Amino acid sequence: MRTSQGVPKEVDVTVINTGQTPARRVEVLDCVWLLSEIPASFASLEREFREWMPTDLGKGQRRTVHSHFIGRDELLATVAENTTRLVVCGFTRYRDMLSDDERRTEFCFVWDQRLQGFYPAGPMNNVT
């Protein structure tokens, strides 16, 4: 679903296990925001993330979660005017089969109105 200017109201976030072993207790935490700047960290945003129920993912398997912008279409019009940015960010938290250590893969994508698509942005696209 999109606004009349083509800005998406809904976003699907797909996580793929590209590792060699199954991932246990995979959790996706994410949120969709209108921001004036690309965030430099999750510190001020993390408490707003929506948590999805944990699952296990085998090698090559994927999980898709559905997120949406909560707000009026008039607010999304500011994205089309390039005065704000539509940002989807969050992280995947999981454990691999070889240890009980928690791992985390972060993501941050920003809507490009001209290209009509999302692109990765900011320092939060990493694996820890």
pLDDT of residue 4: 77
Q: What are the chain's domains?
A: 10-120 (2.60.40)
| Residue 74, SS3 per DSSP | helix
107 - beta bridge partners?
90
pLDDT of residue 120: 92
pLDDT of residue 127: 67
The CA distance from 63 to 85, in Å, is 26
pLDDT of residue 128: 62
Chain Cα centroid distance, residue 72: 20
pLDDT of residue 28: 93
Contact 61, 16 (CB under 8 A): yes
Contact 55, 63 (CB under 8 A): yes
The CA distance from 91 to 104, in Å, is 7
> DSSP letter string over 5-29?
TS-BSEEEEEEE--SSS-EEEEEEE
**pLDDT-flagged residues of the chain (< 50):** none
